[in-house]
Amino acid sequence: MPVSVGVPNEVTQGERRVALTPDVAARLIKKGCQIVVERGAGLAASFVDAAYQATGCTLGDRSAALSADVVATVGGVADDDLAVLKSGGVLLGMLNPLDDPETVERLASCGAMVIAMEMVPRITRAQKMDALSAMSTVAGYKAVLMAADVLPKFFPLLTTAAGTVRPAKVLILGAGVAGLQALATARRLGGVTSAYDIRPAAREQVESVGAAFIELELDTADSEDKGGYAKALEEDKQKRQIELLAEHIAQQDVVITTALIPGRPAPLLITKEGVEGMRPGSVIVDLAAPNGGNCALTQKGETVSHNGVSIIGPMNLPAEMPLHASQMYARTVAALITEYLTEDGFALNFDDEIVQGAVVAHGGEVTNERVKGKLAEAA
């Protein structure tokens, strides 16, 4: 029996992405899936209903999309939707399970299997399903464009009849996927780029995109976990890191911070005094704003000014580039669905490493140990 995949409208305020785009939906249809798209689901990302119909999708109301075997979302569903979800069905999305475990608990109550796309483990076999990296790429790119728009200077070196304009200096704190994309984008715009990361292994990646790697007099040898994420520093090292970074930050026109540890508040990298050490007109874009920010003065979803320095705290940059962000996210969703399609439907093997990492609830209960640990901490 063919597997039905539902694509409802997103309910999160400001979310403009859609979980499946027409071209990606067509690939699943070729695999034997039936795709039901709620009318208007792709409009905010520039995908009209007719485009879905042209690829073989069925348009329907919200109930039709939510009652599919697999419901594909970007950011989950509302409380009112839970009663419509199929018991024993599948709900997947970017659900922020380690920072918002209560939402996972709420979703689990409907009896559906809940898959958090950002919990897909970073292993070779799962690279095509890595939604978190895909969206981090979008965020890193967009962050530089935001900074360039606010910065009262050119990014590139310019030689003009009115004299020479020196290039902007851009520092990226955190050289993960978002940070590396930010470095590459800033360099393409003509900026002089540098980066810092507590993981010594990041040096090669930073230099591969033409940036200078900043090395502090700080022991960070054991700074990376098994998943490739940075680990939290001890308190004394954290203080020393802030002090040493301040000297470099003061020389920059743009600083983009990307340091996040899943399930924990964002580490502080720039203090109020650090901001005050920057030149007026400088810009900070804090990609860690949803988790409190890497800058002490960051305000979630706001742009604030302190001593002439603009501090931008975006909450959902991928939603601001919805067309390509949707296409990239949809490919990871389709890759996951395709991986577990069988003649009998969508079937997951709970001995599979990907399934163990990504499935956060099943049978009406939260099943992921990391998420259960977060719930216990909050109790």
Residue 238: active-site member: no
* Tokens at 51, concatenated: 């485009």
Give the C-alpha separation, 18 to 74, whole Å: 6
* 3-state helix, strand and coil shares in percent for the chain, rounded to the nearest 5: 40, 20, 45
Selected catalytic residue, list 130, 197, 253, 286? 130
Give the C-alpha separation, 117 to 96, whole Å: 9
For residue 133, give the 3-state DSSP assignment. Answer: helix
Selected catalytic residue, list 127, 208, 251, 305? 127
How many helical (H) and strand (E) elements, i.e. helices and strands, does the chain have? 12, 19
Residue 4: active-site member: no
Torsions phi, psi for 61 (to 5 deg): -85, 180
Residue 340: active-site member: no
CB 82 within 8 A of CB 364: no
Q: What is the torsional sign of CA 357, 361, 367, 373? A: positive
For residue 174, give the 3-state DSSP assignment. Answer: coil
Selected catalytic residue, list 229, 238, 240, 370? 229
Selected catalytic residue, list 39, 122, 240, 370? 122
Residue 251: active-site member: no
Selected catalytic residue, list 16, 52, 62, 133? 133
* Tokens at 12, concatenated: 């999160």
Burial class (CB in 10 A: 0-12, 13-18, 19+), 304: middle
CA distances from 282 to 45, 310, 312 (A): 32, 6, 11
Residue 229: active-site member: yes
Active site positions, annotated: 122, 127, 130, 133, 229
